[in-house]
């Protein structure tokens, strides 16, 4: 999965390619080694290893290079470090669920996962102001939230001891990473509930939108998803590909297996590689010409 960072991040780190190279390597490792593992506990263990290794590398680079200015420091703690950090938290929480869940009895396991969802909702409720600040794309408190000098005003208190290095942390980068991790954990819990209660998602996950069915090819949908992912226009460019795929699966009531393999086939096409997107452009232009005529 190629890494697409927001333009302001790329501009800020043009002289720090080692940071982006470390993140690129993390995504490559994540997709090639972790996401392909079917067993949840094994996936979590391997994901923790890969994320922790990346964080150790970033910490080493920061100690060696440090930052040229405050904007660079903000971009690191707001955009780069939370990426592997959020996966470390996500996989740690996944492992905890896999270890703690009841070993037998669908009803006991269902109650367990519903309790986990309530805990996630409580987390978002406790941090609603910060979540709103981030999701609305505000920046006016970034110098307080995402620089190390601001810790004197916001003392560093790690959310959980996933990775406790105060000298390598701002006051809120770990909280922002946990917000992203909890969004991923919601999908994990929902999938677990769905497996325990096939066909009964509506009982515990009320639909917020009318049922929509994707009637085109799955390859076309994957092409559209990757185009939106590359555009960085969703969640201010902070949504990872797996979350985006899960969102489309939910909305269009479809299961997309082998997304990365399908993307590889799209890239390997001879001639035009964006057939569906070009078809959309042609049809929209034709519709507008008809209306104008």
pLDDT (mean) for 153-181: 70
Most confidently predicted of 108-122, 126-140, 192-206: 108-122
The predicted model scores a pTM of 0.66
Per the CB < 8 A criterion, the answer to whether 30 and 87 are in contact is: yes
pLDDT (mean) for 248-271: 86
pLDDT (mean) for 61-67: 81
What would the pLDDT profile of 208-224 be if each residue is shown by its tens digit? 555 577 888 889 999 99
pLDDT (mean) for 240-245: 82
Domain limits of the chain? 1-199, 207-293
């Amino acid at each position: 999965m190629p890494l697409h960072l927001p333009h302001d991040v790329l501009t800020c780190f043009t002289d720090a390619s080692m940071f982006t190279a470390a993140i690129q390597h993390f995504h490559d490792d994540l997709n090639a080694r972790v996401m392909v593992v079917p067993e949840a506990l094994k996936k979590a263990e391997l994901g923790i290893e890969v994320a922790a290794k990346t964080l150790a590398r970033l910490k080493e680079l920061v100690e060696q290079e440090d930052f040229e200015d405050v904007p660079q420091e903000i971009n690191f703690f707001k955009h780069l470090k939370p990426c592997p950090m959020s996966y470390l938290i996500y996989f740690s929480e996944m492992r905890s669920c896999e270890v703690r869940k009841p070993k037998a009895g669908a009803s006991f396991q269902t109650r367990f996962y519903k309790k986990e969802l309530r805990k996630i909702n409580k987390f978002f409720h406790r941090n609603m102001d910060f979540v709103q600040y981030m999701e609305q794309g505000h920046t006016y408190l970034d110098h307080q939230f995402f620089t190390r000098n601001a810790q004197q005003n916001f003392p560093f208190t790690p959310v959980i001891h996933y990775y406790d290095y105060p000298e390598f942390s701002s006051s809120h980068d770990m909280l922002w990473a946990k917000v992203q991790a909890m969004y991923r954990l919601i999908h994990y819990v929902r999938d677990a509930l769905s497996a325990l209660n096939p066909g009964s998602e509506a009982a515990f996950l009320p639909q917020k939108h009318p049922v929509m069915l994707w009637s085109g090819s799955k390859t076309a949908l994957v092409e559209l998803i990757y185009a939106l992912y590359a555009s960085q226009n969703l969640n201010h460019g902070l949504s990872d590909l797996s979350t985006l795929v899960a969102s489309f699966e939910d909305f269009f009531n479809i299961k997309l297996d082998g997304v990365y393999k399908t993307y590889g086939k799209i890239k390997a096409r001879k001639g035009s590689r964006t057939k569906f997107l070009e078809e959309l452009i042609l049809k929209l232009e034709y519709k507008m010409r008809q209306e104008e005529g």
